[in-house]
Amino acid sequence: MNPLSLSHYTVPELSPPDMVTVAAEAGCAHVGLRLLGGQPDGEPMPLLADPALRRAMKQRMADSGVTALDANTARVLPHTDLDAFCPFLEVAAELGARHVLATGDDPDEGRLAARLGRLCDDAAGFGLTVQFEFVSWMSIASVTDAARLVMRADRPNLGIALDALHYDRSGGTPAEVAAVPPGLFAYMHLCDAPRGYANDRDSLLHTAVKERLFPGEGGIDLAGLLRALPPGLPLALEIPTATLARTMDAPARVARAVAATRRLLASL
């Protein structure tokens, strides 16, 4: 059975320690840490800014047995000050994360690869891997693009974080995923989404951050995707449901996400 991780975006109303409690009660082994909104000069997330909150988070994880799978997000743009990511990397390591999530948007792929490699070198100093997430409205928009970029950057601690929504919206196929060296995948973000959709950036962004669906409730071929990936990958449940959250509390939504995921896995 694939280990499950609860993403911050699924339950954004919860404090980080309460997210750990809900994850543990639902049977998740891990959580994702929301530390940075992309750029290092932006407003830091509470876990990055507040040592007392981090102490409470570490205590809750120790008490529950839940660990941190990943920390997000470092976005590499042409002007990004890479040195300024160091506090993000330090806190990710302090909280026990295995991976940091990165995205990139740069029309010069060679420059992006070089800068991503530099981020990997800095992350290695904290014992972290960097998992690159392709996003359908950015310059690295597909799993094929991501594999090419990762191999160009050529770092042992660099891989691909495949998000089921971005995979689907990029027109990805199981064959494309199966063509990627399997060792590049460390975990994936699991969700479902409607089959029909508007392809403009604002609509894609709205679905990504507000209105995803639980596995099996949409049109993504999740079974085909999972069969193409290495077996046993951790699955990060990244399922923001802003409309449903008005009438269903966080524990109930997470329980529904976990039950849907287990049904999907049992069908493979």
pLDDT at 90: 98
Give per-residue pLDDT as tens, 121-163: 999 999 999 999 999 999 999 999 999 999 999 999 999 999 9
Backbone angles phi, psi at 71, to 5 degrees: -130, 140
133 is written with which tokens? 């997430």
Question: Are 106 and 112 a contacting pair, CB within 8 Å?
Answer: yes
What does pLDDT average to over the chain? 96
Give per-residue pLDDT as tens, 31-54: 999 999 888 888 889 999 999 999
Would you say residue 119 has pLDDT above 90?
yes
Contacts for 59 with CB less than 8 Å, ≥ 6 apart: 17
Average pLDDT over residues 225-232: 97
pLDDT at 38: 84
**Helix, strand, coil percent values for the chain (each to nearest 5):** 45, 20, 35
* CATH number reported for the structural domain that contains residue 121 in this entry: 3.20.20.150
Q: What separation in angstroms does the CA of 207 have from each of 50, 144, 199, 211, 224?
A: 30, 23, 11, 5, 22
% of the chain surpassing 90 pLDDT: 93
140 is written with which tokens? 């690295």
Q: Report the residue count for the chain.
A: 268
Number of folded domains that form the chain: 1
Residue in this structure with the two tokens 């669906």, named with its chain if needed: 213
For the entire predicted model, the pTM comes to 0.96
Its domain, for residue 79, covers 4-266
